[in-house]
């Protein structure tokens, strides 16, 4: 049960989490944030917002699309994927070890 003293509006939760209001609603509907609806107002549990902020760390950058992921794998295997431009596939520097 959510304590009414710990309820904040979606806009405030979005500000605290540094995400959009729509993303807060998605998290609520997905069960990742606790909230209750009072009339037309959706109020989020401040404790669940603080917990998410302190525990869940977003990954850096955007995830690769399937097209770019396959292009990356092809590039790593020494092939040039025809469906990507050279500037769109960025390869990390190869780690080399000295022969033993």
- In b/e form, how buried is each residue of 23-42, taking b as 16+ CB within 10 angstroms? ebbebbeeeebbbeeeeeeb
Half-sphere exposure of 93 (CA within 13 A, CB side): 3
One pLDDT digit (tens) per residue for the chain, 100 residues: 566 679 999 999 999 999 999 999 999 999 999 999 999 999 999 999 999 998 877 666 777 788 888 888 888 888 878 877 766 655 555 555 556 5
For residue 19, the tally of other CB atoms under 10 A from its CB is 15
Half-sphere exposure of 20 (CA within 13 A, CB side): 3
Give the pTM. 0.56
């Amino acid at each position: 049960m959510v304590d009414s003293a710990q309820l904040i509006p979606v806009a405030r939760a979005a500000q605290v989490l540094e995400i959009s209001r729509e993303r807060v609603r998605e998290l609520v509907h997905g069960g990742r944030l606790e909230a209750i609806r009072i009339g037309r107002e959706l109020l989020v549990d401040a404790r669940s917002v603080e917990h998410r902020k302190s525990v869940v760390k977003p990954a850096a950058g955007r995830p690769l699309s399937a097209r770019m992921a396959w292009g990356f794998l092809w590039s790593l295997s020494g092939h040039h994927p025809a469906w990507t431009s050279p500037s769109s596939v960025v390869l990390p520097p190869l780690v080399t070890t000295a022969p033993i």
